[in-house]
Amino acid sequence: QQQVKQSPQSLIVQKGGISIINCAYENTAFDYFPWYQQFPGKGPALLIAIRPDVSEKKEGRFTISFNKSAKQFSLHIMDSQPGDSATYFCAASRMDSNYQLIWGAGTKLIIKP
Amino acid sequence: DAGITQSPRHKVTETGTPVTLRCHQTENHRYMYWYRQDPGHGLRLIHYSYGVKDTDKGEVSDGYSVSRSKTEDFLLTLESATSSQTSVYFCAISDAARRGDRGYEQYFGPGTRLTVT
Find the residue in A nearest to B91 (Cα). A43
Interface of B with A in 26-55 (CB under 8 A): 31, 40-45, 48, 50
- B97 pLDDT band, cuts 50/70/90, is low
Q: Closest approach of chain B CAs to the CA of A100, in angstroms?
A: 8
How much is the pLDDT for A97? 76
One-letter-per-residue 3-state SS of chain B: CCCEEEECCEEEECCCCCEEEEEEECCCCCEEEEEEEECCCEEEEEEEEEECCEEEECCCCCCEEEEEEECCEEEEEECCCCHHHCEEEEEEEECCCCCHHHHCCCEECCCEEEEEC
How much is the pLDDT for B1? 53
How much is the pLDDT for A15? 98
Length of chain A: 113
CB spacing of B56 vs A105 below 8 angstroms: no
User: Who among B31, B105, B109 is closest to A46 (CB)?
Assistant: B105
CA dihedral A97, B24, B5, A34 (to 10 degrees): 10
Q: Could you read off the pLDDT of B68-89 as tens digits, one per residue? A: 999 999 999 999 999 999 999 9
B-chain residues near A37 (CB < 8 A):
none
A-chain residues near B108 (CB < 8 A):
42-45
Interface of A with B in 41-100 (CB under 8 A): 41-46, 49, 51, 89, 93, 98-100
On the question of pLDDT at B98 being above 70, the answer is no
More confident residue, B62 or B95: B62
User: Who among B45, B96, B101 is closest to A49 (CB)?
Assistant: B101
Q: Could you read off the pLDDT of B1-53 as tens digits, one per residue? A: 569 999 999 999 999 999 999 999 999 999 999 999 998 788 999 999 999 99
Question: What's the mean per-residue pLDDT of chain A?
Answer: 94
CB spacing of A46 vs B94 below 8 angstroms: no
